[in-house]
Chains A and B, each alone.
Chain A
Amino acid sequence: MADARSDILARIREALQVKAPKPHFKSEETQGQPVKVGKQWLPDGGETTEASLVILAEQLAKLKAVLIRVPDEAAAGVAVADLARAKAWKQVAYHGASLVRPVAAALPCPSWEADASFEKQKLEGCDAAITSCEAIVAQLGSILVSSASSGGRALSILPHVHVVVARVDQVLPDLATAIAQMEAKHGAQMPSMLSFITGPSRTGDIERILVLGAHGPKELYLVLVG
């Protein structure tokens, strides 16, 4: 008996001997690459940086994520320290990125560089995580983190609060642009995880009523520097 792989591939090739008609589309334009033609029909992400920032702020508000705009890195440290005091965080884990380290140093509570010496049980006990990100998608209010830019896979998902520190120039108009940037940056060597985070964790599983903080962070803050 042939192995399963050859069997299945042979079944597929045989099935595809008979061609299926190409779907009839509304316009001729749809004959090219899906995203090249589809991008212009998806939600607007803004033509200029200013327009993108307006859309981003609207999207984040609808998602119940909190946007904090600060002029510089020192102000980012102050904003996050205020947050730590207001929420009485006792232990914070952070990603050792150049944008994040000074913010962690300004915290009024103990903090731990999680990606330097990762321990999952210790991370489970942290109140909040601070990470950087790869990019921000204005169109959808999504924050793109990766196992490279956010201190691994667990840091941005296990603690109850996730704080992202980013620069304004990381804001991109739409998902297609963010994906193109990832392809250009990483090529064939993608990080083992890339995650588009769109608002705090949520569920509607009980009577379709929205509840935040199902398993991932209940609160999501985006501190935008610049």
Chain B
Amino acid sequence: MSDAKQIFIKDATLNAADGDQRAFIRKALGGYYVNRDLQKARYRDWERARDAASLAKWTAVNDLANQLEKFTANFERNGGVVHWARDAAEARAIILKIAADANAKAIVKSKCMTSEEIHLNDALEKAGYGVVESDLGEFIQQLRGEAPYHFVFPCMHVKREAISELFTKHLGTAPTDSPEELTMIARRHLRQLYVDADIGITGANFLVAETGQISITENEGNARLTAALPRIHIALSGIEKVVSRLDDLAVLLPMLATAGAGQPMTCYNTLYAGPRKPGECDGPEQFHLVLLDNARTRLLADPEQRDALHCIRCGACLNVCPIFKNIGGLAYGTTYQGPIGSVITPHLRGLKQWNHLSGASSLCGACTDACPVRIDLHHHLLHNRRNAMKQSPSLFDRAFHAGFGFVMKRPTLFALGGKVFRATLPLLKKLPLPYMSAWLKTRDLPAAPAKSFREQWKDHSHG
């Protein structure tokens, strides 16, 4: 059993038993469901809008090399600098070099999951830079020394009392139980940091090939400030974020907001084309974009699951997932939690180590229904299970399938096996069989029928 799997089973079991925390998460998501449905009702045809969104991403991802070449040419024409990184280490090295060349000290960051993926903060801090996360949820998680719980709602599991204590400890503020007051504490604390920072680091939600703009979606305004005040702006993005046309965003931006947060549009959707231009009064002197592969091309090479690269990171699949709601985001041990994380992590980090996430699913399909770009999430979990079995079947799997095949091809043996099974079923409850005992602790087995289906069929046919 892989280490990651062992940790997952332990954490998931603990969290699933924490009724209070589960109720808290359900309550926190309650408002989201209401708002999402209200917004979806404003669409003249949500299902067809999903078709259009999916088409926009499909078109770009299946022409990725050309789209990226077009995008980078236009990005550079706008005065930006593009850097390519094959993996996390290269991306970190590029960003460290930009910081060193600029003689920077203070860095302010807005929310960027790709930077979590490459553990950028650790690298920057080790190199001696002060790094502050400015998104409120990320700021709280940074103070807690904890990874984000949900890639859109990073601290949704933390109660206000804990946040108040955290702020008292780190910022010396008076305790309060008002979310409003807690937000204002963070606002006051961060304002001067934006003004003083040398470098602002952001993510990117979309890269527009035809114009060379990057699009950043947010609610708080922290990304706007991060890209406005420091003298250098560095954006970090996965290569799959490209869309071919600017007007693709007319579909994607509203759908991202509605699916992800139940909003008509997130508060700030901003397109950046280069650093400050002649005639503009402010903005950074340099604008760098780091394009990261980090195994995305491995996922691209699997045509069956290529659509997982259509993901716009709205988080809708997490919000509806019964597994996520019961085990929580931290148990996954991944940068991207929930169904999309369970699908892509085995590609990004290795199937052998991470296939257990494919099993952490009820295959209910709620994620697939929720996805605004129609990623076939729950089937991909099955595809991963199948691929894992093909790649490295365990001794048990091999023996089980060989035995199953042997019996299924022999009807008499199958009938005999059924008879033995029906007769011994009550005993199963008493035997301490692995897997079975944990399952049966809280569940009843139905009584075995006296006759098999085939026997019953025969009786009825004669009657």
Contacts and interface: CB of A to CB of B under 8 A. Distances in A.
A169 B78 CA distance: 30
B192 to A, nearest CB: 7
A138 to B, nearest CB: 11
A157 B183 contact: no
A201 B228 CA distance: 16
Contact of A4 (B84, B246, B268, B281): B84
A141 B264 contact: yes
In this complex, which of B64, B77, B281, B297 has the most chain A Cβ atoms within 10 angstroms of its Cβ? B281
Interface in B268-314: 268-277, 279-283, 291, 293, 297-298, 300-301, 303-304, 306-307
B318 interface: no
A11 B293 contact: yes
B191 interface: yes
Contacts of B282: 115, 118, 120, 147, 152-155
Contacts of A214: 136, 183, 186-187, 219-222
A194 B271 contact: yes
A207 B159 contact: yes
A88 interface: no
Interface string A173-199: 011100110110000101111111111
B309 to A, nearest CB: 10
Interface in B233-281: 239, 245-251, 253-254, 261, 263-277, 279-281
- Greatest chain B CB density within 10 A among A29, A59, A153 is at A153
Nearest to B263: A198
A193 B48 contact: no
A120 B228 CA distance: 10
Contact of B221 (A33, A188, A201): A201
A205 B153 contact: yes
A19 B61 CA distance: 11
B183 A203 contact: yes
Interface stretch (B38-46, B422-430, B431-439): B38-46
A95 to B, nearest CB: 9
B246 A211 contact: no
A5 B84 contact: yes
Interface string B49-69: 101111110110011110011
B90 interface: yes
Contacts of B84: 3-5, 7-8
A39 interface: yes
Interface string B61-105: 011110011000010011000001110001000000000000000
A35 B277 contact: no
Interface in B111-167: 134-137, 140, 153-156, 158-160, 163
B220 A215 contact: yes
Contacts of A8: 84, 86, 239, 291, 293, 297
Contacts of A67: none
A4 B90 contact: yes
B47 interface: yes
Given A190-B211, A216-B267, A179 B51 contact: no
Given A4-B85, A12-B68, A216-B224, A198 B51 contact: no
A133 interface: no
Nearest to A148: B280
Contact of B239 (A12, A21, A199): A12
B281 A152 contact: yes
B283 A157 contact: no
A202 B187 contact: no
Interface residues of A, number: 91
A207 B269 CA distance: 24
A22 interface: yes
Contacts of B253: 175, 196
Contact of B220 (A59, A116, A203): A203
B48 A15 contact: no
A26 interface: yes
Residue of B28, B251, B291 with highest tally of chain A CB at under 10 A? B251
Interface in A28-47: 29-30, 33-35, 37-44
Given A209-B179, A216-B268, A9 B250 contact: no
B348 interface: no
Tell me which of A20, A26, A44 has the highest count of chain B C-beta atoms within 10 A of its own C-beta: A20
A42 B271 contact: no
A151 interface: yes
A140 B254 contact: yes
A179 B249 contact: yes
Contacts of B374: 23
Contacts of A175: 249-250, 253-254, 265
Interface of B: 28-29, 31-32, 39, 42-49, 51-56, 58-59, 62-65, 68-69, 74, 77-78, 84-86, 90, 134-137, 140, 153-156, 158-160, 163, 179-180, 182-184, 186-187, 190-192, 194-195, 211, 213, 219-222, 224-225, 227-229, 239, 245-251, 253-254, 261, 263-277, 279-283, 291, 293, 297-298, 300-301, 303-304, 306-307, 374
21 contacts: A8-B293, A9-B69, A22-B58, A25-B51, A25-B54, A30-B55, A37-B52, A38-B51, A148-B279, A152-B282, A155-B282, A179-B249, A192-B274, A192-B277, A193-B270, A197-B267, A198-B266, A205-B137, A206-B136, A207-B159, A215-B225
Given A191-B280, A192-B277, 13 more contacts: A21-B303, A59-B264, A124-B191, A157-B225, A157-B268, A158-B229, A174-B250, A175-B249, A175-B254, A197-B267, A198-B267, A202-B219, A203-B219
